[in-house]
């Protein structure tokens, strides 16, 4: 087998990288908020224990579950068991305790909701900043 030329090597790298790039460029759609969803499973100040500074954010998410449940998280947590939406990041093991992307998306969603933005407007702003 002849040695691989530099040009052929670079071309091979591009062929491999393009499908990966395209897959990442097309995020999955935002989920539909589940009917009757509540924030009952969002961790409380007491459950946060080692992260009490996050309690106000978790409280804000708990107050608007119908919005946060309609947002896809862009940190990659969608492959976690039991994941449905950004709301899932604040429940159970609460990935949002340690993830700046989950926290950032939730802060933006809360702020925009307080400003009277619709779910579609919140999604568009999150996609523009985090996708």
Residue 5 located in a structural domain: no
Residue 108 located in a structural domain: yes
Residue 125 located in a structural domain: yes
**Per-residue pLDDT tens for 5-19?**
555 544 444 444 444
Share of the chain above pLDDT 90, in %: 63
3-state secondary structure the chain: CCCCCHHHHHHHHHHHHHHHHHHHHCCCCCCCCCCCCCCCCECCHHHHCCCHHHHHHHHHHHHCHHHHCCCCCCCCHHHCCCCCCHHHHHECCCHHHCCHHHHHHHHHHHHHHHCCCCHHHHHHHHHHHHC
The average pLDDT across 70-80 equals 86
Q: pLDDT class for 84, splitting at 50, 70, 90?
A: very high
Q: How many domains does the chain contain in total?
A: 1
Can you give the pTM of this predicted structure?
A: 0.78
Residue 79 located in a structural domain: yes
Residue 101 located in a structural domain: yes
Residue 18 located in a structural domain: no
The average pLDDT across 12-27 equals 46
- Structural domain range at position 40: 30-130
Residue 40 located in a structural domain: yes
Residue 68 located in a structural domain: yes
């Amino acid at each position: 087998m002849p040695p691989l030329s530099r040009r052929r090597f670079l071309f091979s790298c591009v062929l491999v990288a393009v499908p990966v790039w395209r897959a990442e460029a097309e995020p999955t759609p935002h989920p539909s908020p589940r009917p009757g969803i509540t924030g009952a499973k969002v961790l409380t100040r007491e459950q946060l224990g080692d992260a009490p500074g996050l309690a106000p954010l978790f409280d804000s998410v708990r107050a608007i579950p119908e919005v946060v449940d309609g947002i896809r998280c862009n940190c990659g947590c969608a492959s976690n068991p039991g994941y449905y939406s950004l709301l899932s990041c604040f429940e159970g093991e609460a990935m949002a305790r340690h993830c700046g992307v989950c926290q950032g998306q939730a802060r933006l969603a809360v702020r925009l909701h307080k400003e009277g933005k619709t779910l579609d407007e919140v999604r568009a702003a999150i996609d523009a900043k985090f996708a």
